[in-house]
Amino acid sequence: MEQQIENFIFFLQVERGLAKNTLLAYRQDLQGFSEYLVQVKSSWERVNRDTLVGYMENLRNQGRAASTIARQMAAIRSFYHFLNAEQLLLDDPTLTLEAPRLGKKLPHVLSVNEVDRLLAQPRVSRSGGVRDKAMLELLYTTGLRVSELISLNLDDVNLENGFLRCMGKRSKERVVPVGRVAVGWLQEYLSRARGKLTPDQEQNALFISHLGTRMTRQGFWKLIKGYARSAGITKEITPHTLRHSFATHLLEHGADLRSVQEMLGHANIATTQIYTHLTRSHLVDMFKKSHPRA
């Protein structure tokens, strides 16, 4: 099965252009299933619906969350679709399998006041503080994914006209407007801070770590969690928190769903619609707090 997994991962990489982290997740999920097949003395060729149901039950007994089980079954389903398309199997055992039902999990968002407090934390008297301020302002004004933020190069940003170009999922490029506050802090960062973080004239990365190299996702996550603590924010903070807050605040202030979809780079508007649930819950809370007969 190991060879078939590698063939499948190669297919995902070459034909579908999936990201490195996504490929790693597929490999890990399929290796877990492969280990289960060894335990039950089966093989990938002999898997049937009962085998798959047994594997789901095994995952539940291990205390795995429904979302984790659903993700693993999605990986297995894609794997068997691939085997079937390559004519390595005549029948696809996943065709009649139902995935675990998931409740909609709403993303964590910050209030406007919490965002203001978070963005006020960096010490802009220092080069690293100016960089952090520029990164936070840019993240909140554009709704970029953190991976998109740290992948930005100098020539991706047009400060004179107030927009940037980024590469999203599946290498899909999009142009995103940048607010004037973020433009101002980016200009400040480029004029007096970035050169102090790296003397390398050939370094094209926009945001530089204290090591003089491109800022990493993990490095930025540590920064944002530290600033959240100093701002007294007790909500769970993830690398996507400002992205979620960006989308929610736009919709709360009247932006249309299609525009938000385009700025976020969502291929399907159904993905963007999760934020309408957040704005509805906000309206319900305001109604209950404000109406005398609520």
Active-site residue set: 145, 169, 240, 243, 266, 275
Residue 202, judged by CB atoms within 10 A of its CB (0-12, 13-18, 19+), counts as exposed
* Cβ neighbours for 214, distance < 8 A, ≥ 6 positions apart: 150, 203, 205, 207, 208
Residue type, 6: E
How far apart CA 255 and CA 243 sit, in angstroms, is 15
Contact predicate 145/220, CB 8 Å: no
The number of CA neighbours under 13 Å toward the Cβ of 151 is 12
105: nearest Cα among 71, 141, 72, 61:
71
How far apart CA 164 and CA 178 sit, in angstroms, is 7
How far apart CA 27 and CA 2 sit, in angstroms, is 10
